[in-house]
Amino acid sequence: MRLRLADGRELIDGMASWWCAIHGYRNPALDDAVRGQLERVAHVMFGGLTHEPAVRLACRLSQLAPEGLERVFLADSGSVSVEVALKLCLQYQRALGHAGRTRLLTVRGGYHGDTAGAMAVCDPIGGMHSLFAGALPEHVFAERPPDGFDAGLDESWSASVQELASAHAHELAAVIVEPVVQGAGGMRFHAPECVALLRRVCDEHGLLLVLDEIATGFGRTGAMFACEHAGVAPDVMCVGKALTGGYVSLAATLCTPAVADAVSGGEGGGLMHGPTFMGNPLACAVALESLALLERSNWRARVRAVERGLNTGLAGARELPGVADVRVLGAIGVVQLDRHVDVALATEVAVAHGVWLRPFRDLIYAMPPYVIDAGELSVLTHAMVQAARACAIGASR
């Protein structure tokens, strides 16, 4: 759980290294998995050849994933898995004779990565599309789903999404969203019913549903994948971040046989993507062990305990001046201010309380490793509240 600074001080890590180190650091089982694989082979090309860790990982992922996602493409990073998902959708529509269906429908407030294709489906303002005006494809943006996991389906949001989808259906290949939690776009939670609505909209108009579970996958929201809250399965799903327990970069794009077979049978004869380090054996081996460890660790109970600890510890922040909202879902705790966070000040206060945080915009948040215990949780939440307090006082001075 801890990071040691150069001067010897130790900080409880509230960030899990951008949400991926779910088992904490220097986990003996994960260390051994890397070492064990190193004694066999560190890397081999994944074109024409295959290898055991990749095959086992692909099988494991498709077992864990929602029904129907039986095909797996191993990618280098989350952003690349989104690029792969977008290519899959375009090639799929083209193979079906819909070469004009090249745009994506998404919602405002999203985040899908930093490569060009992924960036184009990020929130236009948060993703600074203006910096790249003319160079990015222009996709179709619906309003952000209304806030609140328990909010149910908002009728006017629902109507506006349906209207947009039917107006653009002839040029749309797919819908892409982060289910239930928008991460780097603003740490917002929305109702699972919104995800279910998007499933219906896709079915109605012949669009593929792509769910980006890179932040939410592997238990973070209290379900193995966030789309389980909605009871829907996508046609294409991206996973990354926690996949290797934070050891090395690896992501995957899963899809249904219908998507994979159409792409394989279409022009080009297959998906047009083949990164050099695709299916790296070291990454696959540690991912397999991370998934095994997740299951051995009784993750549901752990995430529920983290949720309780975050709820208890952050409750007091609601009363603070300058705090606009406090919300918790699974192992995600958010204190939203009514102003931008003074990041330097918030960091200094958190560090003084023995905690590492990385606030952004108006958000002081935590996504800790699942192995955090009750004592560490109370230190973490206390530091978050103190950082929020300092920002409120600092700004009013």
| Residues of the shown chain interacting with ligand PLP in the complex, contacts defined by CB under 6 A | 77-79, 82, 111-113, 178, 183-184, 212, 214-215, 240-241
Rank residues 71 and 220 by Cβ distance to ligand PLP and give the closer one.
220
176 contacts 118 by C-beta, under 8 angstroms: no
Handedness of CA 350, 355, 360, 363 (dihedral sign): negative
Rank residues 72 and 391 by Cβ distance to ligand PLP and give the closer one.
72
Classify each residue of 305-339 as buried b or exposed e, where b means 16 or more C-beta atoms within 10 Å of its C-beta.
Answer: bbbebbeebbeebeebebbeebbbbbbbbbbbbee
Q: Output the smallest distance, CB 112 to ligand PLP, in A.
A: 5
Rank residues 109 and 313 by Cβ distance to ligand PLP and give the closer one.
109
CA pair distance 80, 91, nearest whole angstrom: 16
Rank residues 290 and 386 by Cβ distance to ligand PLP and give the closer one.
290
Q: Output the smallest distance, CB 163 to ligand PLP, in A.
A: 26
Tokens 């958190």 locate to 350
Rank residues 174 and 385 by Cβ distance to ligand PLP and give the closer one.
174
Which SS3 state, helix, strand or coil, does residue 282 take? helix
Q: State both tokens at 222.
A: 């209290």
* Residue type at 209 in one-letter notation: L
Handedness of CA 319, 183, 71, 262 (dihedral sign): positive
Q: Output the smallest distance, CB 105 to ligand PLP, in A.
A: 17
Q: Output the smallest distance, CB 395 to ligand PLP, in A.
A: 28
Q: Output the smallest distance, CB 118 to ligand PLP, in A.
A: 6
355 contacts 286 by C-beta, under 8 angstroms: no
- The CA dihedral of 341, 343, 347, 350, to the nearest 10 degrees, is 0
Q: Output the smallest distance, CB 265 to ligand PLP, in A.
A: 29
Rank residues 208 and 252 by Cβ distance to ligand PLP and give the closer one.
252
- The single-letter DSSP state of residue 57 is H
Rank residues 77 and 158 by Cβ distance to ligand PLP and give the closer one.
77
Q: Output the smallest distance, CB 19 to ligand PLP, in A.
A: 7
Neighbouring residues of 217: CB distance < 8 A, sequence distance ≥ 6: 224, 225, 226, 239, 240, 241, 242, 243
Q: Output the smallest distance, CB 155 to ligand PLP, in A.
A: 27
CA pair distance 394, 383, nearest whole angstrom: 16
Q: Output the smallest distance, CB 115 to ligand PLP, in A.
A: 7
CA pair distance 261, 257, nearest whole angstrom: 6
* Helix (H) / strand (E) containing 4: strand 2-4
Q: Output the smallest distance, CB 342 to ligand PLP, in A.
A: 24
SS3 for 330-341 is: CCEEEEEECCCC
Rank residues 79 and 93 by Cβ distance to ligand PLP and give the closer one.
79
Rank residues 291 and 390 by Cβ distance to ligand PLP and give the closer one.
291
Residue nearest to ligand PLP (CB): 78
CA pair distance 225, 376, nearest whole angstrom: 26
Rank residues 246 and 309 by Cβ distance to ligand PLP and give the closer one.
246
